[in-house]
């Protein structure tokens, strides 16, 4: 397994952290998600190839977290 992926944290995505802090419901739910779900969301955001994709994934993650829905690539694709 890629060691770099295992050591990722919200510090690696300050824009995601700021977006969560702006939405208290999203932050509360995100923090209550199991570590595996938080890691999936973080990996999904950090693996974006363009800035536009990253911003869209952050927006989607925060909107879904506010509704207590865990966003990751598979969940979002299934909901489209």
Q: pLDDT digit string (tens) for 1-60?
A: 344 445 677 788 999 999 999 999 999 999 999 999 999 999 999 999 999 999 999 999
- Report yes or no: 26 and 32 within 8 Å, Cβ to Cβ: no
How far apart are the C-alpha atoms of 76 and 80, rounded to whole Å? 6
Residue 78: pLDDT over 60: no
pTM above the 0.95 mark? no
Q: How far is CA 54 from the centre of its chain?
A: 10
Other CB atoms within 10 A of residue 73 CB: 13
Per-residue pLDDT, averaged over 75-80, amounts to 49
Tokens of 65: 């977290």
């Amino acid at each position: 397994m890629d060691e770099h992926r295992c050591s990722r944290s919200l510090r690696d995505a300050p824009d995601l952290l700021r977006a969560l802090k702006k939405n208290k419901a999203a932050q509360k739910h995100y923090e209550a998600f199991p570590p595996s779900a938080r890691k999936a969301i973080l990996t999904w955001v950090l693996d974006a190839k363009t800035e536009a994709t990253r911003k869209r994934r952050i927006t989607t993650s925060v909107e879904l977290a506010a509704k207590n829905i865990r966003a990751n690539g598979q969940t979002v694709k299934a909901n489209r």
